[in-house]
Structures are given as structure tokens and as C-alpha cells.
Amino acid sequence: MNPTIRDVAKLANTSKSTVSRFLNGQKIKKETEEALKQAIKDLNYHRNENARRLVMNKTQTIGVVVDNISNVFYSTIFGGIEKVAMEKGFNCVFYSSTSNFYTEGSFLDLFYEGQVDGIILVSFSKRMEADLKRIAEVNYPIVLVGDSGNTAGICSVDVDNFFGISETVKYLHRIGHENIAYISGPENASATGYRLNGYLQTMRELGLEIRGDLLVHSDWSNHGGYNAMNQLLNVSDFTAVIASNDETAIGALRAIHERGYDVPNHLSITGFDDIALASWVYPSLTTVKQPFMEMGEKAAGELFARLESGNESSNFLKRHLLKPKLVIRDSCRKRSRSQTQ
């Protein structure tokens, strides 16, 4: 038979209640702690987690729901979530809404079924209004990674996409660029609108002209960036282009080279995300680095704050925007105001 708490207490010459306090992380005398560690090792004792969960009415598990498990950005976010969960003594269980054909709101059933103590919902797509409303009405610990659609009653963690593009426009302006083109992203991505607004508003603030022929769209793929750049290259009088993600920028780089232009001597180009390839393409790409690990840690931290407070405080119902960082590499060049393409 498996050893019990009683067996551990007997071997360590102490009481069952002392063993329980030790196993639950409470302080006991140093000599008793050493005796218990040795007894647990000698007996090969393992705590019955199912029984413990029944007594405590907790699963010691958080659910992490993602819309696409293959998204390369999510792995670093997961690392941040797992780091905090491990520190708190919790396990993470990952669910893919895409593979199960579920909406985010349907995963709230995990609470009702007693499978998790808290949920982190991870998605960079635009969320359904019905899901956001349902999430806001549920009195359970839930945190969103991504956009919350400014829905009241929801705690969310996201990158400040507006700030990232705004900093890029300001940088290009500082090094002499005035005619700055922009390649936007897909409509279903929540960041697309924020990044576009960062471009438009900052151009206005700097007194720079916003031209419709210098604003094109892509699907955030290499091929989409290639096509968008070829469209822009049929237009004259711009010296820099901001691609709203790195995949787009890399496709645009190829189009520029194929048309006989040089980066950065003829054109400057920037991206967004700082993927691994951004530092390996030629020339290396100036881009905006997203704080993915910090996002995961912040989301988990907010979730555990709610778990530990009993989910009572309205202070947790906030939208947290983390600042990205402009990474300057070799794809941009300083220009005099009189220079054109």
C-alpha cells in the first residue's frame, strides 16, 4: 500500500497536523522540517492531490485557452504564464479553441465543471462581442491576453500597438523622412486598427501629409508584403515605408530588391514584432519588439491576484497596455529634407 501522512508522522516522530502544515507550506521547526523531508524520502511518499483538491475545493490548475496553438508568438507568452504558475504551485492546462471549434465563451464551462480555478484567454484576433459580454458577466477569475474591445468588467493585458507605430513614425521623422508610406494589416487582427491609428495620428501631430496612395493593405504574410510593396513602388515621392509586421516587411524587402532599389540607400523600411528573422535578413530590420514574456507574466500575475483576493476587487478590471521597444538596426538611413526617392 502507498504510505500515508500517518506513516510519515510516525517515522518523523511528529503529529499528522504538523505533517499537513509542512505539506501546505506553513512554517514549522527547522529540526522537524528536516526529519519530515527525510521521512518523505525514505517512504517515497506522494501526496494524494485529488483528495487534497476535494478538501480545499481547489484544482490548483489554471486553464490557458488559445485561438491558434501554432501561433509562434504564443510560446513566449506561455513561458511567462507558466513561470508565475509554477511559483504559485499551480499547473497549466492548455486548450485550443480552433481545434475544438469552440468560442472563447464556451470555455467558461471549465469553471462550472470544476476543472480549473482560473482562465487566461489568449487571442490577437478581434473578439466576438457576445463572448466579451459573457466573460464580463461571469464572476470567476478570468484574464484576457489581447484586446478586450474596451468592454467594462474585464481584465486584459495587451501590447500598446498604437505606441509602437507612433514611436516608429517619430524615429523616421527624426532622421529626415517626411513622405512615409504605410502597409496596414488584416481586418480580423485586433492590432491592425491600433497600429494604423498610431501612424495616422502621429503623422498629423508632426504636420506630415497623409496620402491615400501611400497607404496600402496586406494580410501580414511575406507574399502580402511583396504585393503591397510592388503597389507602392508604382508611386513616387516617398523615402520610407512602415510595414505593420515583420513578415510583411520581409516580403516588401524582396520586392524592393527585385525592382532595383537599395535598402537603406534608396528606401528605409521598418517592421513590427522583432521575429527571429528580423535580425538575419539583409539589411537587418529595424522593428518594434513586443514584450511577450512580460505579457504572460502580467496576465498570470493579475489572475493570481484575483484568485488570492477572492475575485472581489474592481481594481482588477483593467486594461493593461505594455510598452513595446523600437529596435534600431540597418534598414533605415538618415536623409536630408531635400532628398526624395
Q: Where do the DSSP E strands lie in 97-154?
A: 118-122, 142-145
> What is the pLDDT, as a whole number, of residue 310?
74
For 309, other C-beta atoms within 10 Å of its C-beta total 12
Determine which helix (DSSP H) or strand (DSSP E) holds 270, and give its type and residue range.
strand 268-270
Cβ atoms of residues 220 and 245 within 8 Å: yes
> What is the pLDDT, as a whole number, of residue 54?
45
State the cell numbers at 26. 506553513
Task: Report all structural domains of the chain as residue ranges with CATH numbers, in order of start.
Answer: 5-47 (no CATH), 60-160+292-323 (3.40.50.2300), 161-289 (3.40.50.2300)
Q: Is the bond preceding 3 in cis, omega lying within 30 degrees of 0?
A: no
Cβ atoms of residues 182 and 251 within 8 Å: no
pTM confidence score: 0.82
Half-sphere exposure of 185 (CA within 13 A, CB side): 29
> What is the pLDDT, as a whole number, of residue 257?
97
Cβ atoms of residues 52 and 12 within 8 Å: no
For 58, other C-beta atoms within 10 Å of its C-beta total 14
Q: How far, in Å, CA of 269 to CA of 238, rounded?
A: 11
For 311, other C-beta atoms within 10 Å of its C-beta total 15
**Average pLDDT per 10 consecutive residues for the chain, totaling 341 residues:** 86 90 81 92 76 59 90 93 93 84 83 90 93 90 94 94 98 98 97 98 98 97 98 93 98 97 97 96 97 97 90 69 98 76 43
Phi, psi of 224 (to 5 degrees): -65, -40
> What is the pLDDT, as a whole number, of residue 225?
98
> What is the pLDDT, as a whole number, of residue 340?
45
